[in-house]
Amino acid sequence: MTKILPRKDVVIVGLGWTGSILAHELTDQGLDVVAIERGPWRDTATDFNIGYAQDELRYSIRRDLFLQPAVETMTVRNDPSQKALPMRDFGSFLPGNGVGGAGVHWNGHTWRFWDSDFQIKTNLTKKYGASRIADLQVEDWGVTGAEMEPYYDQFEYLAGISGKAGNIKGQLQEGGNPFEDPRSRDYPNPPMQMTYAPTLFAEVGRSIGLHPFPTPSANMSRAYVNPLGIAMGQCTYCGFCERFGCANYSKSSAQTTVLPVLMKKSNFEVRTDSEVLHVDLAPGGKSARGVTYVDTSGEEYFQPADLVLLCAYGLHNTRLMMLSGIGKIYDPGSGEGTVGRNYCYQTNAGVQVFFDDKNFNPFIAAGALGQTIDDYNGDAFDHGALDFVGGAGINCIPTNGRPIGTRPTLPGTPKWGSAWKKATVEGYKSTLGYSSQGSSYATRNNYLDLDPTYKDRFGRPLMRMTFDFPDNDIRMSNYVCDRMEEIAKALGGKQYAVSRRKKGWDSVPYQSTHNTGGAIMGTDPKKSAVNTFLQSWDVPNVFVIGASAFPQNAGKNPTGTVGALAFRAADAIRNQYLRNPGAPLVQA
């Protein structure tokens, strides 16, 4: 028996970064908003306790703060000919759970995508010809870099990003990223203090003609009060960032930048430990009536609302659309359908350089403390004579020295015994690592749909992920690995090792929680699930906000762009949608 609750103006599914931003903006507009969050309530003092937050086993290995596969997982395979099987444990990526979402345990790398990323198909076709991208399914986003700039700025000031501008209103800035698009002003906070490894990496990079700059970081370089009046503390470089909540109010998250203000508002409410099963559509399927959810006692509720915002993790947004019948599920055979289309990931590779005479103190670290080289990212370099498109940021961001997971050793070292131990001690402090974070471009056969066999705890189909690294992306990654080898040689250690990316995506070892696409934005309803304001083409009182909207992924972490898209959607709802609720903002 489903309990029917009093109507709300807005129901938000998921209270992470995007849900918090949308809730804050729409409650400011005077709307009555409820957020329904699958996981628990979490806050700094109660859940990221300074007395025991530095627990590698609990938070990094057993992943206490993450979504548990028993609650929801997905099936995986590399191509449509294989039988997809469930990820019984997460590995390659680790979705978040609970209030704050993955924003609780992210590292904090906060990038802007470039105009050349947004207008990618137009750009690449013009520069290199349509045949260069014939094997790919890349799409324009339908927005320009200049249109996105104010929303990036808004997110960076909300989150107190530490960094150095490379281009302010067209003027190049010494020490910043010369390849970035113009920004209206500098970051709200200066770069963090540099540890030894990224300092050396930057010196050597500069000496061979590259352009290193401090990675834009959501770890505070100094105390900061954001535009909402919320105070954050200076990062203490403890090295327990990724996979951990910050006990020190030094890492931006919904908890440290939005919730202290949002939770006090009388027109906002959150219901935690409550999982939305689906969005309920009106007869005809052209309008949403609200959502159905279930609490931990198994009680089912219907929450009516005029406006439904899917603000869960991107993959979960896509699945909720599939389970709710919002839009048509993509079919790679016919190329028809939009939900599940253009699933992309991240194409990473890494280098380790081993020294005898250096002590990098790897435990002195922060999630986003490091240096980046963008000379080979996106379309910053000419691809005319090359056989691929895309690129990678080269990042020296040593995030930790936590010893269960971080024990670099020379290639060929046994995994146990006295020889293992000796090599482990030798390598621990004296190894410098860096990696390429590569773009991931869409292809016809990389997609999401519903699994025909495996079900979740409520008996609903799991989502099925079909993914492998496209040949284009492997060629890109190998090219950038060659460039990383040049840096390794210039660094001059006693030995170096390159881990190249190979085809046959492996769901087991951790790679990146940058899953994008599935409900992509665009200007053509036949190819995109949402318009450029993230409004569903099919059900206009549903907005789908997250990295699910990326038509493909750049060689950058997605959160900055996710935050900017959230502010852009909020702006569109406040200033356009509410004038004529329920109507499409863009005519198909």
Partner 1 sequence: MTSDPPTQVVAGGWHFFSAQEAALVEAIVDRIIPADELSMGGKEAGCAVYIDRQLMGAFGASSRLYTQGPFLPGLPTQGYQGEANPAQRYRTGLAAIDAFLKQRDGKTFVELAPAEQDAFLTAMEAGKVDLPNGVKGPGFFGLLLQNTMEGFFADPVYGGNKDMVSWRMLGFPGARYDYRDHVSKHNQPYPQPPVSIIGRPEWLGKGA
Contact set for partner 1, span 417-476 (CB under 8 A): 417-418, 421-422, 424-425, 428-429, 453-455
Side-chain-facing half-sphere of 348: CA atoms under 13 Å: 20
Choose between 142 and 408: whose C-beta lies nearer to partner 1.
Answer: 408
Q: How far is the CB of 333 from partner 1 (least distance, A)?
A: 23
- Which residues, numbered 194-213, are part of the site for partner 1 (CB under 8 A)? 194-196, 199
- Catalytic, 278? Answer no
The H or E element that residue 564 is part of is helix 559-575
Count of positions on this chain that bind partner 1 (CB under 8 A): 74
Q: How far is the CB of 416 from partner 1 (least distance, A)?
A: 4
Q: For 296-312, give the DSSP string.
A: TT--EEEEEEEEEEE-S
If one asks whether residue 239 binds partner 1 (CB under 8 A), the answer comes out as: yes
Selected from 18, 78, 346, 548, the binder of partner 1 by CB under 8 A is 78
**Cα torsion at 463, 315, 351, 196 (round to 10°)?**
-150
**Cα torsion at 454, 311, 99, 266 (round to 10°)?**
-140
- Which residues, numbered 473-512, are part of the site for partner 1 (CB under 8 A)? 504-508
Choose between 363 and 381: whose C-beta lies nearer to partner 1.
Answer: 363
The H or E element that residue 434 is part of is strand 431-438
Q: How far is the CB of 364 from partner 1 (least distance, A)?
A: 4
Nearest residue to 436 via CA among 494, 489, 488: 488
Q: In this structure, are strands 171-172 and 300-310 parallel, antiparallel, or unpaired? A: unpaired
Choose between 31 and 197: whose C-beta lies nearer to partner 1.
Answer: 197
Choose between 236 and 499: whose C-beta lies nearer to partner 1.
Answer: 236
Helix residue ranges per DSSP H, 367-502: 417-428, 471-491
The greatest distance separating any two alpha carbons of the chain, rounded to the nearest whole angstrom, comes to: 72
- Which residues, numbered 54-73, are part of the site for partner 1 (CB under 8 A)? 54-58, 61-62, 64, 68-70, 73
Choose between 196 and 302: whose C-beta lies nearer to partner 1.
Answer: 196
Q: CA–CA distance from 2 to each of 5, 283, 292, 300, 578 (Å)?
A: 9, 19, 8, 5, 30
Token code pair at residue 38: 């699958």
Selected from 49, 184, 495, 575, the binder of partner 1 by CB under 8 A is 49
E strands present in 238-329: 268-271, 274-281, 288-295, 300-310
Q: Where does this chain touch partner 1 (CB under 8 A) — which range of 21-29, 193-201, 327-335, 380-388?
A: 193-201
The H or E element that residue 213 is part of is strand 212-214
Q: Tell me phi and psi for residue 449, to 5 degrees.
A: -150, -165
Selected from 46, 131, 297, 587, the binder of partner 1 by CB under 8 A is 46
Selected from 28, 80, 85, 119, the binder of partner 1 by CB under 8 A is 85
Selected from 170, 298, 382, 416, the binder of partner 1 by CB under 8 A is 416
List, in order, residues 6 or more apart from 454 with CB less than 8 Å away. Answer: 75, 85, 86, 461, 462
Q: How far is the CB of 53 from partner 1 (least distance, A)?
A: 8
Chain-centre distance of CA 320, in angstroms?
Answer: 19
Q: How far is the CB of 27 from partner 1 (least distance, A)?
A: 27
Residues in contact with partner 1, shown as a per-residue x/- string from 537 to 576 under the rule CB under 8 A: ----------------------------------------
b (16+ CB within 10 A) / e for 433-461: bbbbbbbbbbbbbbbbbbbeebebeeeeb
Q: How far is the CB of 247 from partner 1 (least distance, A)?
A: 7
**Residue 32 buriedness (CB in 10 A; 0-12 / 13-18 / 19+):** middle
Q: How far is the CB of 221 from partner 1 (least distance, A)?
A: 11
Residues in contact with partner 1, shown as a per-residue x/- string from 115 to 144 under the rule CB under 8 A: ------------------------------
Q: How far is the CB of 546 from partner 1 (least distance, A)?
A: 23
Selected from 119, 361, 445, 511, the binder of partner 1 by CB under 8 A is 361
Contact 172, 178 (CB under 8 A): yes
Residues in contact with partner 1, shown as a per-residue x/- string from 146 to 185 under the rule CB under 8 A: ----------------------------------------
Choose between 248 and 317: whose C-beta lies nearer to partner 1.
Answer: 248
- Which residues, numbered 244-273, are part of the site for partner 1 (CB under 8 A)? 247-248
**Cα torsion at 567, 571, 574, 579 (round to 10°)?**
-150
Q: Where does this chain touch partner 1 (CB under 8 A) — which range of 321-329, 388-396, 403-411, 568-576?
A: 403-411
Measured between alpha carbons, how far apart are the two ends of the chain, in Å? Answer: 39
Residue type, position 261, single letter: V
Q: How far is the CB of 40 from partner 1 (least distance, A)?
A: 7
Q: How far is the CB of 361 from partner 1 (least distance, A)?
A: 5
Residues recognised as catalytic: 514
